[in-house]
Amino acid sequence: MKDSEHPFFRPLWRRVAVVAVCVIWSIIEFATGTPFWGVIALGFAGYGVWQFFYLYKPIEDKPPVEPTE
């Protein structure tokens, strides 16, 4: 998750899905009695929120330049 500017993460739904999976994973870990892994997964979710929503700057698509002759 180091390269949050990767084109894979441009659609908002993918960034939301990554964070949601981490939160769900954390809930499952806490529910099964393993709080250590729950805290780790919650840390992943927090880092995802930080990278994908707070620091994320969408790249503007530039219109194609027509060649001049």
pLDDT tens for each residue of 26-53: 999 999 999 999 999 999 999 989 988 8
pLDDT at 11: 86
Asked if residue 63 is part of any domain, the answer here is no
Number of structural domains found in the chain: 1
Asked if residue 5 is part of any domain, the answer here is no
Domain holding 48, by residue range, is 17-54
- Supply φ then ψ for residue 16, to 5 degrees: -65, -40
> Quick check: 41 and 25 in contact, CB under 8 A?
yes
pLDDT at 58: 65
- This prediction has a pTM of 0.75
Asked if residue 22 is part of any domain, the answer here is yes
- The gap from C-alpha 53 to its chain's centroid, in whole angstroms, comes to 8
CA pair distance 42, 48, nearest whole angstrom: 10
Considering only residues 58 and 6, tell me which one the structure prediction assigns the higher pLDDT: 6
